[in-house]
Amino acid sequence: MDFVLKGIAQGLIWALLALGVYLSYRILDFADLSCEGSITLGASVASILLTKNMNPVLAILIAFLAGCVAGTVTGLLHTKLKIPPILSGILTMTALFSINLHIMGSANIQLNSVPTLYTTLTSALDINKTTLSLILGTCVCLLVMAALYWFFGTELGAGIRATGINEKMCRAQGINTDTTKIIGLALSNGLIALSGAFLCQYQGYANINLGVGSIVIGLASIIIGEAIFSKVKNFFLTLGGIVVGAVLYRIVVAVVLYFDMSTDDVKIMTAAVVIVALCISRYANKFGKKSSAEKQTSDDEQKRKEKRENV
């Protein structure tokens, strides 16, 4: 069972990334690929600060802010220089690779010899690392979910949600869509960096390639979560679904590794899980409403159609 618990613990950390991707991909309707650079940025900033003996909590907060800056850059590239969303994200991601190397000073930083949040707390509370990671991960996820629930219920948050749905309407209602996009992307990448800051401490090292494939993990978590929680209307529970999605994803990875399957097979198993999740939601709702994942797709189609008609 231990390997499942470890999978859940890791899943709760990756859930922060999934929530970040959800902000850009679903709420802002912005396919932001800076994700892969931001999670590594969070890990590199946190780990270099830890090796300088900084307080782990402070190091995590600074990593979050660094992620916000990265998101702001993507936002500025898109809104001020009118670079398309995907390209803006790729540019930031590419630039971040060099920046991360500069921050870390090498491609790898070991955190075995410095106190991290996990080592400090396990010795202070006298519990084992897996238990601690489960409690800590749950608390952090709930905290972030509550913060997001509050933020998107405010005037500013409502403006950001509306920006992702209908920009023309937003401008007609006096919303500066450049600003709302930048704030949304900053927050999204901040959360992704937060995920990286926890991850490097959990695994005891930071690596320049930590972020490779992370966008797929984020998207898979969202799709799994939405498929399972397809009938949920409450925003807090929707966010909870994303967290569950991320945890399920890590459980699958844990199972693959436990049964001595090659790590090469992790990706094909991911694809299988996402397909199964989509099938389940489809058949469960066969006579009911469409799942939110499908609904989103048909909304997208609708939007594309409108765009075509406008041209």
Task: Report, in Å, the least distance between residue 250 CB and other proteins.
Answer: 30
In this structure, the chain runs to a length of 311
* Of residues 31 and 158, the one with the C-beta less far from other proteins: 158
Question: Please, what is the end-to-end C-alpha distance for the chain in angstroms?
Answer: 57
Q: Which of residues 116-155 bind other proteins (CB under 8 A)?
A: 151, 153-155
Task: Report, in Å, the least distance between residue 23 CB and other proteins.
Answer: 15
Task: Report, in Å, the least distance between residue 233 CB and other proteins.
Answer: 9
What's 175's DSSP letter?
A: -
Dihedral (C-alpha) 183, 180, 137, 117: value to the nearest 10 degrees?
Answer: 10
* Of residues 124 and 172, the one with the C-beta less far from other proteins: 172
Identity of the residue numbered 169: M
DSSP string, 16-42: HHHHHHHIIIIIS----TTHHHHHHHH
Task: Report, in Å, the least distance between residue 297 CB and other proteins.
Answer: 14
Give the closest residue to 188 by CA, choosing from 59, 293, 88. Answer: 88
Cα 156 from Cα 9, distance rounded (Å) = 33
Per CB under 8 A, does 168 bind other proteins?
yes
Cα 186 from Cα 98, distance rounded (Å) = 20
Provide the mask over 284-303, with x wherever binding to other proteins is found by CB under 8 A and - wherever it is not: ---------------x----
Per CB under 8 A, does 159 bind other proteins?
yes
* Of residues 51 and 176, the one with the C-beta less far from other proteins: 176
Task: Report, in Å, the least distance between residue 151 CB and other proteins.
Answer: 8
* Of residues 2 and 299, the one with the C-beta less far from other proteins: 299
Task: Report, in Å, the least distance between residue 164 CB and other proteins.
Answer: 8
Contacts of 214 (CB under 8 A, 6+ apart): 17, 35, 36, 39, 192
Helix/strand/coil for 166: coil
Instruction: At 281, list the tokens.
Output: 């939601």
Task: Report, in Å, the least distance between residue 114 CB and other proteins.
Answer: 37
Provide the mask over 169-188, with x wherever binding to other proteins is found by CB under 8 A and - wherever it is not: xxxxxxxxx-----------
Task: Report, in Å, the least distance between residue 153 CB and other proteins.
Answer: 6
Please identify which residue in the block is written with the tokens 């990593």: 63
CA torsion sign for 185, 190, 193, 195 is: negative
**75, 92 in Cβ contact below 8 A?**
no
* Of residues 124 and 311, the one with the C-beta less far from other proteins: 311
Q: Which stretch binds other proteins (CB under 8 A): 49-57, 107-115, 138-146, 167-175?
A: 167-175
Among 165, 268, 271, 276, binds other proteins (CB under 8 A): 165
* Of residues 144 and 252, the one with the C-beta less far from other proteins: 144
Give the closest residue to 224 by CA, choosing from 60, 49, 11, 67. Answer: 11
Per CB under 8 A, does 307 bind other proteins?
no
The residues of the shown chain that bind other proteins, judged by CB under 8 A, are 151, 153-159, 161-162, 165-166, 168-177, 299, 306
